[in-house]
Amino acid sequence: MPIPRMPPGGGRGTNVGCLVPLVIVGLACLSLAASCPPKPPDPEPCKPVPAAEPKFTWESPTTLELTWVDMPVTVGGGDEKCVLNRRLAFSFDKPVEILTVYSFQAVDSGDSIEMLTALYAKDGEPLYKRSEHITPGVCTEYDAFDPPQPVNYETDGLILDAVCRVTGNNKDTGELNARCHLAVYVKVADAPPPPEGCDTEEADLIADTCSKGEYRDEVKAATAALGSYCGHTFRESLDALTGELRRQNPGMCAISGIEAIFIERSDLRHDEYHAVASVTGCWTDSGFGKWIGCHSKKGAPPGECGEPNPLGLPAEFVVKKHNKWLDRTYRVRSWNYCQEACDAFIGRASCPVRCEGDPEREPCEERVIGEGKWWCDGQLLTEPCSTSSAPCLKDGNPSQAKCFSHWKTCTDDGVTCSEGDW
C-alpha cells in the first residue's frame, strides 16, 4: 500500500520523525551538563606596580649604588600593566670615568620571572645590560650578583632602565606573582678630587682657637646619604665620608686625616670632626660628627695675622694691676719668634704677639686667645662692669677684669692660663 504523501507546500501536521532526534540531543546535553564542574571564577586582576623614588648611595668613595627606595617589590602576572618597568637618572657634579658596572637581581624561592637592567650614559651610549630568565625546576646555576663588567667611559650622568615581569605561578605558593630586587653598582675612577689649592695634610696643621665649627650640618647630611657603614674598616668609612662631603658640597676642601675629617673654613682655618668609630666603622654621635676644634696651617696663619705665626708656641699670660683693673698680656716664650715679631723685641726671649700699634696685634691675639676667660674665686665672670659690681668684665675689652681676691685667666682652649691673688 503506498505511503501517503503530504501535499506540496504543506498542510497542518507535525513531522514526528524530525522531532525525535531533537529530543534525544536535548536529553544528552542535559545529562552532560549535570556531570560537568562549574566554570572557575575569573582570576583577580593584578595590582599595577606603584612609582617609587630613586635611591642613590655611595657605598664607598668610588662605588655608587642605583636602585629605588621600595626594593624589593612584589610584581603580579597576567597583565602588562603589572610589570615593573622603571627608569631613573643620576647626574655627577662633573664628568667622571665609569670603570666597571655590575648588578644585583634577586627573587624569592619558587618565583618564575624575567628581569632586565640596562645602564646608559647621559648621552645615550649603552654601558651595561643584564637579562635573566628564572624558571623553577630548570637546573641552572644562578648568582644574584654578576661579575663586574669593564666599561671605561666618561660621562656626567647615568640612565638606568629596569624591568621585572612574572612569567608563571610561584612553584611553592601557586600564586601568580613574584618579588623582584634590582640594583646596579657603578665604580668610578675616583672620588671627586679636592678643589685647586686644597693640598693641606694633617701634618701641615696646628691647633688653633675657634668658638664653634662651621660644617656640623654638612657632616650630618653626608653620613645620612651614605647610610650605615657599620662593618667597614675605619679608613673605608673615613674616606667615604670625605668623598661624600666633596660630592654634596662642590668646592669644599675636605681631607681625611689619621683619625678625623678636616674641612677648610671660611676664615681658612680647618674644622676637625670625629665622625667614625675606630673599631666598628660606624658613624659616631648619631651621624652628626663631633666637632673637636679648629686648626691653622703651620707658617701660614689665616686672616690678617701673618708671619711669624704665634700658634702652637709656648706662651703665658702676664697679668698686672692697672687702676683697680687686672690687665693681661699674652706673651710668646720663644727667642726666634721675638726676633721676627717686632724690631723692639730683638734680644728678648718672651714677647707679645706683635708690637703695640701693629695692625696685626689684635688679629694675632684673637687667633691664640679667642675671647679669653676670667674667673674670680672659681666663679666664671660673664657680666660687664657697667651692669654689675666687682667681680666683673670690662666693657669692650676682654683683656681686663675686676677681682679683688683670687683670679684666673685662660685662652678659650684652656691651653694657656695664669692665676694669682689681688
CB atoms within 10 A of CB 242: 23
* Domain final residue, candidates 263, 297, 331: 297
Q: Considering the domain boundaries, does residue 63 fall inside one?
A: yes
* Domain final residue, candidates 271, 297, 323: 297
DSSP 300: B
Q: Which of 293, 295, 305, 294 is nearest to 332 (CA)?
A: 305
Q: Considering the domain boundaries, does residue 73 fall inside one?
A: yes
Question: Residues 102-112, buried b or exposed e (16+ Cβ, 10 A)?
Answer: bbbbbbbebbb
Q: Considering the domain boundaries, does residue 31 fall inside one?
A: no
Q: Considering the domain boundaries, does residue 322 fall inside one?
A: yes
Q: Quick one: 335 and 290 in the same domain?
A: no
Q: Quick one: 241 and 285 in the same domain?
A: yes
* Domain final residue, candidates 188, 215, 247: 188
pLDDT at position 12 is: 38
Q: Considering the domain boundaries, does residue 7 fall inside one?
A: no
pLDDT at position 73 is: 92
The three grid cell numbers given for residue 209, joined into one nine-digit string:
682657637
Q: Quick one: 113 and 171 in the same domain?
A: yes
- Domain extent at residue 412: 315-421
Q: Quick one: 326 and 391 in the same domain?
A: yes
**Side chain identity, residue 152:** N
Q: Quick one: 207 and 153 in the same domain?
A: no
Q: Which of 291, 140, 264 is nearest to 204 (CA)?
A: 264
Q: Quick one: 293 and 328 in the same domain?
A: no
Q: Quick one: 239 and 292 in the same domain?
A: yes
pLDDT at position 37 is: 62
Q: Quick one: 153 and 252 in the same domain?
A: no
pLDDT at position 114 is: 92
pLDDT at position 71 is: 93
CA distance 112 to 177: 8
Q: Quick one: 93 and 162 in the same domain?
A: yes
Domain count, the chain: 3
Q: Quick one: 272 and 385 in the same domain?
A: no
CA distance 190 to 64: 11
Residue that has been written with the C-alpha cell 651692669 in this structure: 387
Q: Quick one: 290 and 320 in the same domain?
A: no
pLDDT at position 154 is: 87
Q: Quick one: 209 and 147 in the same domain?
A: no
CA angle at 416 for the pair 414 and 418, rounded to the nearest 5°:
105
**Side chain identity, residue 241:** L
Written as tens digits, the pLDDT of the chain (422 aa) is 444 443 444 433 434 444 444 444 444 444 444 556 666 555 567 788 888 999 998 887 688 999 999 999 999 888 888 899 999 999 987 788 888 899 999 888 888 899 999 999 999 999 999 998 888 765 456 788 998 888 889 899 999 999 999 998 988 888 898 999 999 999 887 666 777 778 778 877 877 766 678 888 899 888 888 778 888 888 888 888 888 888 788 889 998 888 889 998 877 788 888 888 888 888 886 545 677 777 777 654 445 677 888 888 889 999 998 888 899 999 999 999 999 888 889 989 999 998 887 778 888 888 888 888 999 999 999 888 876 677 888 877 788 899 999 999 999 888 889 999 98
Q: Considering the domain boundaries, does residue 319 fall inside one?
A: yes
Angle between helix axes 216-226 and 234-248 (nearest 10 degrees) is: 110
CATH at 96: 2.60.120
